[in-house]
Chains A and B, each alone.
Chain A
């Protein structure tokens, strides 16, 4: 995990420095969004393959799926709710930045 953390952080930093110093060519920058979308969807496809190819996961999914969905939905719901509450209390002054929207 620690090695991974360092790897992720250094790659993020490398990208951030290159972006900050304007060392990335305009051509790549203009396609950044498309590049991100394509690699993201490809990655999700591979993640799906990993779930589908593993007989154990699929079998236990059918068996434990209902419980798993209840647990994860509740976890997510309360995480979002608590973050929303703390945001209303502690981050009042933080301006809302516009969304980039979908693309």
Chain B
């Protein structure tokens, strides 16, 4: 699956770069929305079919929230260390890390602050999403199902959700959605906090 994912993205990038005009951007937005809704519908069916899932989630209770919290701490910690290595001030690298893969929003929030930082936030979070899509099937297979939610970050509720659902099980898919909701809410709160430190 990982190989197919890489191929699909790479072929897309080359097609877009060499064959298509930039004006196609608006219509691709609509296609993505429709495709995403279709995929989420399939994921929903899969969750519904597994009737014991809800009881399993209930058993986990509020502990579920530990997963998004750990992803927040891990992402911030990782990006600040990376910033330290690259010589980027910790508030700037922290703000980039607080995008959690949601590249459009994190870049937009930082656009006012500096266009260079905004571009870096955009690319870093695009790269995060691409690495997430590629690594999720591998992490699910070799490390663990819940762990495979971590790379996805805020995209655990939409673009990465189908990949997580396909690589793991319906229980993890629900945890993934909840995690994605918490992280998506945290992006517009944490990015401004960091940049204003």
Listed in ascending order, the chain A residues whose CB lies under 8 Å from chain B are 1, 4-5, 7-8, 11-21, 24, 29, 32-33, 35-37, 39-55, 57-58, 60-61, 63-65, 67-87, 90-91, 94, 96-103
Contact = CB atoms under 8 A, between A and B. Distances in A.
B24 interface: yes
Interface in B67-109: 67, 70-71, 73-75, 77-79, 81-83, 85-86, 88, 93, 96-97, 105
Interface in B115-165: 119-120, 122-128, 131-133, 135, 137, 139-141, 143-147, 149-151, 153, 157-159, 162-163, 165
Given A36-B166, A64-B123, A97-B145, A71 B46 contact: no
A15 B72 CA distance: 29
B8 to A, nearest CB: 4
A82 to B, nearest CB: 4
Given A70-B82, A79-B75, A83-B67, A32 B8 contact: no
Dominant SS among interface residues on chain A: helix
Number of contact residues on B: which range applies?
35 or more
Contact of A48 (B11, B59, B128, B140): B11
Contact of B22 (A15, A53, A60): A53
Contacts of A86: 66-67, 70
B79 A74 contact: yes
Dominant SS among interface residues on chain B: helix
B189 interface: no
Contacts of A49: 12-13, 15-16, 20, 24, 28
A90 B169 contact: no
A79 B43 contact: no
